[in-house]
């Protein structure tokens, strides 16, 4: 349960005042408070800073209200969303299918780099990646040959595959030989379209 309204009122702030500080519309803030819309990670962190609390308390994951410095969000880490899927046509920051949030070192974001994570489903990237693994991606519209990427193909949900660039197109390859490799010409890349969403930078596997 999101405690945004409760904490805003404790600060004696109006919806418009908080919306102005966040750089969003009052309607958007109202949607977050009623949980009509899911708040994105960047604004979640901004809200926690403005309202002097932790993201866990704001999300209802902790019952400890932070005005206590030692439980505040560490300064050297940030939280990124773990997504279950990336539906077509929706910016990553607006996706509502957030399974959880995980920490990454703040230094990873230097230079304006952005990250998201996907929980892997299926075995098309076996044996390097297993179903249930969490893979952290750097947001990028381009990649190099050999990069493992989140790729949007033909307007469908994103798929996770290895990319091989050819002079006349790209190969979108599963690591599991039981699955077929897809090839797209340079023309098909533009017309389908085929879009690189992010490059895998870290694998996290829970025992």
Residues annotated as catalytic (active site), given as ranges? 124, 161
Strand stretches in 8-64, DSSP E? none
- Rounded to 5 degrees, φ, ψ at 53 are -145, -175
Smallest CA-to-CA distance from 200 within 156, 161, 165, 157 is with 161
Tokens of 139: 């947001």
Give 86's contacts (C-beta < 8 A, 6+ positions apart). Answer: 92, 95, 118, 150, 152, 157, 158, 197
Rounded to the nearest 10 degrees, what angle do helices 15-22 and 41-50 cross at?
120
Task: Quote the crossing angle between the two packed helices 15-22 and 26-33, to the nearest 10°.
Answer: 110
In the three-class reduction of DSSP (H, G, I as helix; E, B as strand; rest coil), residue 109 is classed as: helix
The Cα diameter of the chain in Å comes to: 60
Write out the two tokens for 128. Answer: 């390097």
CA distance 183 to 141: 18
């Amino acid at each position: 349960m999101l405690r945004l309204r409760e904490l805003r009122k404790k600060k004696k702030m109006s919806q418009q005042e908080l919306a102005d500080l966040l750089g969003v519309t009052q309607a958007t803030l109202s949607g977050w408070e009623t949980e009509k819309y899911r708040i994105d990670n960047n604004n979640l962190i901004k809200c926690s800073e403005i309202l002097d609390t932790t993201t866990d308390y704001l999300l209802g994951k902790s019952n400890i209200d932070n005005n206590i410095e030692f439980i505040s969000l560490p300064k050297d880490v940030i939280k990124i969303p773990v997504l279950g899927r990336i539906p077509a046509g929706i910016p990553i920051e607006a996706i509502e299918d957030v399974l959880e949030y995980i920490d990454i070192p703040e230094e990873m974001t230097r230079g304006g780099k952005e990250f998201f994570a996907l929980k892997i489903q299926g075995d098309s990237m076996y044996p390097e990646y297993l179903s249930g693994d969490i893979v952290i991606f750097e947001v990028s519209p381009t990649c190099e040959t050999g990069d493992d990427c989140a790729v949007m193909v033909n307007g469908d949900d994103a798929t996770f595959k290895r990319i091989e660039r050819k002079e006349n197109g790209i190969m979108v390859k599963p690591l599991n030989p039981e699955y077929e490799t897809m090839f797209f010409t340079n023309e098909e890349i533009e017309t389908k379209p085929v879009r690189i969403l992010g490059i895998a930078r870290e694998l996290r596997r829970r025992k």
